[in-house]
Amino acid sequence: MSGPLFKPLRHLPFWIGLWVLAVLGVVAVCLLPPPPLPPLPENGDKAEHLIAYFLLAASAVQLFRRGRALAAVGLALVAMGVCIEFAQGALTDTRSADPFDALANTVGVAVGLAMAFTPLRDLLLRLQPRRDAERKQ
């Protein structure tokens, strides 16, 4: 693989750290006992799975360059979602494995990665102040 993996963002370590924290947060929320909340409608949690993985993938689009790096991140997120489902069934007494949760995770990743083909793909880059403007000040 040649060329940089990440987009030329200012404060890149901060953004990567924030994304990694989000990934770890999703893992933790999925493996810890669920909080005592009113029950969701049947299969209502699928929207939560889709949104969480959409946000992780769409955030990755902001950080990683298109191509192999972004594809690898997408595959890793899908694998993470599948592994979490296995872990919920094997390692917890308060959660259960659900293949439809893994499917919702995968759809969320796919929709999030599709952001790479929209004008929003460089939103974080566009929010940075231009270097020329900084030099004039």
pLDDT digits (tens, 9 = 90+) for 69-114: 999 999 999 999 999 999 999 988 888 899 999 999 999 999 999 9
**Burial class of residue 27, CB neighbours in 10 A (0-12, 13-18, 19+):** middle
pLDDT digits (tens, 9 = 90+) for 1-12: 456 899 999 999
Res 126 pLDDT > 50: yes
Res 57 pLDDT > 90: yes
Res 135 pLDDT > 50: no
DSSP letter for 8, please. Answer: -
pTM over 0.85: yes
- Given this model, what pLDDT does residue 131 score? 60
- Given this model, what pLDDT does residue 2 score? 54
Mean of all residue pLDDT scores within the chain: 90
Res 13 pLDDT > 70: yes
**What average pLDDT does this structure show over 56-61?**
98
